[in-house]
Amino acid sequence: MEDFFLRIKEFKKTKDYLVAIDTDGCVVDNMSGKQILVFHPLYMEFYGLWDIESYFREVAEYYNLFSVHRGSNRFIALRLILNVLKNRMDAGRVVKENNLKIPDSGILDDFIDFCEKNSYGLSNSSLKMFVDTRCLDLAAQKTLAWSRAVNEVLLIINKNFMPFANVRESLEIISREADIVVVSQTPYDDLFEYWRSYDMIKYLKIICGQETGSKVFQIEMLKKIGGYPDENVLVIGDSYGDFEAATKNNVKFYPVVPGKEENAWKKMPDAFELFLGGKYTAEKQKFFLEEFLKILNSSPAWENPEYDHSVSYREKQELRKSLYKRFNPSGRLLLL
């Protein structure tokens, strides 16, 4: 854990500008794949929740992909998912009929509190330290086992997801004038392997994963250590959390709109030119943000008075089918 913080403290500024970039769903087309193919089915397998698959996937996809919570740390997102499932009457009926049990989110509350008190990032490294404080707590051990399984699978499957078109060209342009850093809630090893495997790591000055805390903290530290003025820092991301991290650090934000990522990267060189010239104003940023904020829903479908669960689940069915057909054709997937 200390090694990760030491790495960020030893960051060296080489350019007048700093560009902080997210990875999953921003640089690489893997956001939907890693959630739908890895995070969600592994959790249902670990906890025997396949009988409520449609409810679990609907809620998990909302929080991880289609809401302002997109890009949240896995443990924070999981806490949201479990709390919703416990309070939904329709899901509760299926749980009762099949004699299931929704896992208690209390272990996640304790772990998140543990990290906040010790200024740790929400990672497997800190989760292992938390588990060591209560080694006979089976709920804690199981949470760690699930999260480790996710990391193992992601290291393999991530290599199959290509960077979005125009990413490499944009990185080449940006790197001439700015120090490029990765700020992410993905594990460091996974990030390093991905950027290395596609020969894009040469553009980076440092990679900050979930081990080094929140994106807000990562950007704050890099900005402070490098001595960059606010107007010389740009954050590029695909989630509301990225936007929030930029806003809390009083720096500029360029959105990579979910579903329109390639277009965002195509326009990136022009936006970067505006940024360098001091012309990426609040009004210009607002123009780019308008579509971005519309895409990320602020309220879930199940809170709509006209909500129908089957209809809601089928809305994302083609996305699930296409991912399973491509990467896991024999995998378990409910179709309605």
pLDDT at 1: 52
Model pLDDT for residues 190-223, shown as the tens digit of each residue: 899 999 999 999 999 999 998 888 999 999 999 9
Kindly report the pTM of this predicted structure: 0.85
| Statement: residue 248 has pLDDT above 60 | yes
Q: What is the mean pLDDT of the chain?
A: 94
Using the predicted structure, report yes or no on whether residue 78 has a pLDDT greater than 60.
yes
**pLDDT cut 70: percent of the chain above it:** 99
- Report the chain's C-alpha Rg in angstroms: 20
Task: Please count the CA atoms within 13 angstroms of the CA of 112 that sit on its side-chain side.
Answer: 14
- Taking alpha carbons only, the member of 241, 296, 293 closest to residue 76 is 241
CA distance 229 to 227: 6
pLDDT band, very low/low/confident/very high, at 288 (cuts 50, 70, 90): confident
Task: For residue 297, name the pLDDT band (cuts at 50, 70, 90).
Answer: confident
Alpha-carbon distance 180 to 20, whole Å? 6
Q: Is pLDDT of 3 > 80?
A: no
What confidence score (pLDDT) does residue 329 get?
96
Integer Cα distance of 195 and 182 in angstroms: 10
How far apart are alpha carbons 31 and 54 in whole angstroms?
19
Could you give phi then psi for residue 181, rounded to 5 degrees? -130, 150
Residue 119's pLDDT band, with cuts at 50, 70 and 90, is confident
List pLDDT tens digits, range 250-268: 999 999 998 899 999 999 9
For residue 329, give Cα distances in angstroms to 119, 297, 336: 42, 30, 17
- CA of 172: how far to CAs of 29, 125, 177, 179, 204, in Å? 19, 33, 10, 11, 11
Q: Which of 307, 269, 264 shows the shortest CA–CA distance to 288?
A: 264
- Among 3-7, 30-34, 106-110, which is the least confidently predicted range? 3-7
Q: Give the pLDDT of residue 298.
A: 74
Res. 336: pLDDT tops 90: yes
pLDDT score for 308: 97
At residue 155, the pLDDT reads 84
Q: Domains of the chain by range and CATH?
A: 2-29+162-295 (3.40.50.1000), 31-159 (no CATH)
Confidence tier at 175 by pLDDT (50, 70, 90): very high
Dihedral sign, CA of 71, 74, 78, 79?
negative
Residue 54: CB atoms within 10 A of its CB come to: 19
